[in-house]
Chains A and B, each alone.
Chain A
């Protein structure tokens, strides 16, 4: 452990080139510092004046995860193994070919509402399916004079699915930061206390203070002073200290990053458990209304949950770290234990795995539907039904472009059991979907779906359909 730290510190101290050659006379102190220690912050012309503008611009720009979570629609046949509870809002338009009625608009809102604690959200989702006449009604109405008027009376609210989903956020479940904040802060504190100290920067400050009453520093921002205007021999001394301090600060930043990056990855891999209540609200001309309850568990590669399960990690719960009596010792101890866990070969392999699977169980009921059109002498009574279903989804990230935008692949198999409803036949649905992030905000899903029977129909009619769509996601604005 100690040798891992000594080597970079040794290199930092002795492997630095001739500093006088590093800062040019045509550079300012600030330009040289930034060239040797590049900033990752959003550039600003005048930070003081533009801070407010930046906040607004950044809040409305594409503040979206690079992570591709695919189609958000809960009961879509082109589901993915990763449900997004972290974006603020998303809108999805999906369409299908080879089937009649799969065009849909999905609106998805992750709401952090009281009394839920920070990090906990309820996902509200509305799916507006393109309404189509009930298949039996359509058959009986075809050719009749009022077919067009009845068909034309359908509007966008005639086939709607509403759902609410709760995903608890705990140490073991959920991908939000909040339950793990104490561990992150322990890792940050330890990284700052063990990484390179800003001793060169302190020396630079003291040197600059001695010349601040002389030209060209008098009444100027020292970072804006050009080296060429600084008289020798002080110029060379400042150039050396600027270069040394910039490299020291870069080494410190790299050290902190190396300690926190594994935490970020393991947090993103956390399992999720969520329960959904789903209501299908349909006009009787379209079909039967109904509802269902669904519970889903997702699991990916090695995550923070696995750290807390280790003997050392068990003592590093947020409550223990927050305990001020034990905090000083435990903060350092837990950061060390986490670093040991994160750098184990098995953890690194497990954390790098992009595969994620989900398993779900659902129980649903469809109401009896009665259509009575006296003018056409049509009466259709469709009895209610019960459905129990299970599904298994496996997905993995296949591609990641230069901007870290993901392309993911998901395979979904579900089985719907209608044992309590003898007039319906059990069915298998399988899908393969590839979704690609086009921009930070836009995702394009493309899926192939196989169903052994059409939904809610007894006919033995195997179906294959092609689904495609567009997902737009916004993450900003919520806390």
Chain B
């Protein structure tokens, strides 16, 4: 189950932090995070590589994110994407999320969800 990640009970004011890197230059990435407030955050490769890109999450809200990694044919990169939640006190909330694509051209999508404490 490495194309989905859920963080529940995230403390108010925590930071969602993400970054990506590839073994060649032939890849791109789009991270699209939607809040139930209607607010949208979008990160592309120049935000994430080397990154990290960050956003603060607030209570009581639900955030859904899609990670879209696109690898082109010649020469395909192996891309690694890392994401984690950092609590206001600086500790990491639950476990980080890491995904790696094989070095093959294609579209690679993953879904993440964040729900803050009520």
* A contacts, CB < 8 Å to B: 28, 30-31, 33-34, 37, 39-44, 47-48, 50-51, 54-55, 58-59, 61-67, 84, 86-88, 112, 118-119, 175-178, 181, 184-185, 188-189, 191-192, 197-198, 201-202, 204-206, 208-209, 212, 221-223, 245, 249, 252-253, 256-257, 260-261, 264-265, 267-268, 475-479
Contacts and interface: CB of A to CB of B under 8 A. Distances in A.
Contacts of A84: 74
Contacts, number: 217
Contacts of A209: 8-9, 62, 115, 118
A204 B5 CA distance: 12
Contacts of A64: 75, 103
B74 A208 contact: no
B5 to A, nearest CB: 8
Nearest to A62: B103
Contacts of A223: 1, 4-6
Contacts of A67: 73-74
A176 B104 CA distance: 15
B25 A479 contact: yes
Name B's interface SS. Answer: strand
Contact of B78 (A43, A47, A58, A189): A58
10 contacts: A40-B3, A41-B108, A43-B2, A51-B82, A58-B102, A66-B104, A197-B34, A201-B113, A208-B6, A261-B107
A276 to B, nearest CB: 20
Contact of B100 (A54, A249, A265, A477): A54
Tell me the interface secondary structure of chain A in the complex.
Answer: helix
B54 interface: no
Contact of A212 (B8, B27, B68, B103): B8
Interface string B73-116: 11111101010000000000011111111111111111101110
B58 to A, nearest CB: 15
A86 B25 CA distance: 10
Contacts of B113: 201-202, 204-205
Contact of A267 (B23, B62, B72): B72
